[in-house]
Structure 1
Amino acid sequence: MGSFVLKRSLYSIISLVGLLVLVFFLSRLTGDPAALYLPVDAPASVREAFREARGLNDPLIVQFGDFVWNLLHFDFGESLRRQRPAFDVVLEAFPWTLCLAAITMSLVLLGAVVLGSLAAMNVGKSFDRISSVISLAAASAPDFWVALMAIFLFAVALGWVPTSGTGTPWHWILPVAVLFIRPFGLILQVVRGSMITALSSAYVKTARAKGVRQRAITFVHALRNAMLPVITVAGDQAAGLLNGAVVVESVFGFPGIGKLMIDSILQRDFAVVLAAIMITSLAIFIMNLLIDLAYALLDPRIRY
């Protein structure tokens, strides 16, 4: 187990370094920050002083060397827009995305496991057909379209919920609901397929022969063995949510890391972009490692 964790950590570090190198050089292609932060009629000397003070006149390889050196000291530099350490700016936004993702995935797993298991118990019946249609429609729904339609219907037309912000629980309803739809549809289909396989296995037939009730067979015996593929898909969907939920956060004005990254890219705030990618990548790595370790807990036959 220790060698597995060490190997996965090494692979993740290599991937993270490659990602940061790629993003560093690509971000420099977005344009000159001086053109964005200074007035249009600013003198050339002022623009030159602005670039010189922030090392933007140095060759790219020199800028990258300074970035790596600062990164080794956990220093991502200062946010050009906010005049604060970029790392602090990202740490303020990340908990909002983490909380949004945790609430959404908790509801997704609860709903998908229950409905998927019930659908597997009623294969070919009306409940199974309806749940399949709903899950396929949910998995196919584009987030940006659903978000805009939700704002128009529930916020503008009906006035039930606010369009943006985080001040009250009502502000969270639309972002959570929109993020809920796609992973719910995907995971529901996976739960249904896995449960159908598990319910047709030999140990389930033995349990039925012994007189065990159907609910106990489904939610105690079969569900645990059906959870491995579900965990894989759930981990992938959770990583997508942790990756910023960029569209949803931007549409609803949610102050998470996804909206922060979009704003920072548009503002050419390079330090914040790199810090956001670093924090998000580390969170995804830790989550994937925990999912891999959970396999061994659910199925003792798995050994690393």
Structure 2
Amino acid sequence: MFFLSRALRSALTLWAIVSVVFVATRLTGDPTYYLMPAEMPEQQRVELREKLGLNDDIATQYLRYGKALVRADFGRSFFSNRPVADLFFERVPNTLLLTIPAFLLSVAMGLCGGIWAALRHNSLFDRALTTATVVMQALPNFAVGIAAILIFSLSLRLLPSGGMGTWKHMVLPVITLALASSANIAHLVRSSMLEVLAQDYMRYARSKGLSPAVVVLKHGLRNAILPVLTILGLQFGGLVAGAVVTETVFAWPGVGRLVIDAVMKRDFAVLQFGILMFSTAIILANLVVDLAYGLLDPRVRGK
């Protein structure tokens, strides 16, 4: 029942997001002004809107869109006249090339930094990490990305400022994506580890003569990791959403830039499918975390 309720809740959330995005896109403006020159006769513009199905009321368009989704028909781009699924799946590997390394890097940095800060509580490193996490959580991705380009590309000339090619092109966007996420993870790991280290069973484990590594990793981290699992789904979702901005800053040819272009041109089908993809990724990540939490802690399944 626990797993079924979580899956149903995720499906309803996705349906609500798709519905809101559909209505919102229709309120953003007329895409025919981007498809046709401004001096074109109004009659031709009306005919184009009729061809695209934009002259119908929103309810009729919504029902037509829902029926198409059931058939896995996501529509065609107004500008390229290609299926939007093809446009996205061409670029998904490029986006994954950023988000997966960024996620792994953020988890590694967050775990190592949070554990070390907890073990060195109130030390200089602990205070520095706490300050750094607050700063990194406050800075937006685009600001970090622009600063990285100014320092490492324009001033030091160590790394490319944008585009896609060698592994060097990945360094700045991956680090930019990972920094804020690793700060969130480190902050939570530190708090959770401090709470666990104060427990009686940790003192008992140390009194048995176990090595510090065994005490921290086997007994401490095992109990401190449960609250961290909850935030990992959110962090992965944040990386997926952050890729939109990061790809734009670094001119990375991923789905994020495709969505930004669709927003600027009012390409409804591309924008709707992009939001559908991002929402699905975020919801699935959180669903996996919920299910994993339920498996690791049976008490959760009773809620």
Which TM-score band applies after superposition, normalised by the shorter structure?
A: over 0.9
- Report the counterpart of residue 287 of structure 2 in structure 1: 289
1:53 pairs, out of 51, 56, 60, with 51
Q: 1:72 offset after TM fit, Å?
A: 1.1
Q: 1:300 offset after TM fit, Å?
A: 5.2
1:130 pairs, out of 128, 131, 134, with 128
- Report the counterpart of residue 108 of structure 1 in structure 2: 106
- 1:106-149, CA deviations, whole angstroms, 9 ceiling, x for partnerless residues? 11111111121111111122222222222222222222211111
Equivalent pair of 1:257/1:276 in contact (CA under 8 Å): yes
Equivalent pair of 2:177/2:242 in contact (CA under 8 Å): no
Q: TM-score, normalised by structure 1?
A: 0.93
Equivalent pair of 1:232/1:291 in contact (CA under 8 Å): yes
Unmatched 5+ stretches in structure 2: none
Q: What SS does structure 1 have at the residue aligned with 2:253? A: coil
- Report the counterpart of residue 184 of structure 1 in structure 2: 182
Report the Cα distance in structure 2 between the residues aligned to 1:110 and 1:85, rounded to whole angstroms: 38
- 1:191-211, CA deviations, whole angstroms, 9 ceiling, x for partnerless residues? 111111111111111111100
Query: Is 1:30 aligned to residue 28 of structure 2?
Result: yes
Query: Is 1:66 aligned to residue 64 of structure 2?
Result: yes
Matched AA of 2:74: F
Moved more, 63-72 or 130-139: 130-139
- 1:193-248, CA deviations, whole angstroms, 9 ceiling, x for partnerless residues? 11111111111111111000112111121001001121112221111112352221
Q: What SS does structure 2 have at the residue aligned with 1:294? A: helix
Equivalent pair of 1:244/1:259 in contact (CA under 8 Å): no
- 1:36-85, CA deviations, whole angstroms, 9 ceiling, x for partnerless residues? 11112222332222112111122222211211111111111111122100
Q: What SS does structure 2 have at the residue aligned with 1:145? A: helix
Q: What SS does structure 1 have at the residue aligned with 2:301? A: coil
Report the Cα distance in structure 1 between the residues aligned to 2:125 and 2:39, rounded to whole angstroms: 67
Unmatched 5+ stretches in structure 1: none
Equivalent pair of 2:230/2:293 in contact (CA under 8 Å): no
- Report the counterpart of residue 151 of structure 1 in structure 2: 149
Q: TM-score, normalised by structure 2?
A: 0.94
Report the Cα distance in structure 1 between the residues aligned to 2:213 and 2:185, rounded to whole angstroms: 21
Report the Cα distance in structure 2 between the residues aligned to 1:302 and 1:225, rounded to whole angstroms: 15
Report the Cα distance in structure 1 between the residues aligned to 2:58 and 2:297, rounded to whole angstroms: 49
Q: 1:297 offset after TM fit, Å?
A: 4.4
Aligned 1:1-304 pairs, distance under 5 A:
3-299=1-297, 302-303=300-301
Report the Cα distance in structure 2 between the residues aligned to 1:16 and 1:282, rounded to whole angstroms: 7
Q: 1:5 offset after TM fit, Å?
A: 2.2
* Cα distance change on mapping 1:10 and 1:296 into 2, 3 Å: closer
Report the Cα distance in structure 2 between the residues aligned to 1:133 and 1:155, rounded to whole angstroms: 26
Q: What SS does structure 2 have at the residue aligned with 1:163? A: coil
Runs of 4+ in 1 over 3 A off after TM superposition: 296-304
* Cα distance change on mapping 1:173 and 1:41 into 2, 3 Å: same
Equivalent pair of 1:116/1:188 in contact (CA under 8 Å): yes
Equivalent pair of 2:18/2:272 in contact (CA under 8 Å): yes
* Cα distance change on mapping 1:192 and 1:172 into 2, 3 Å: same
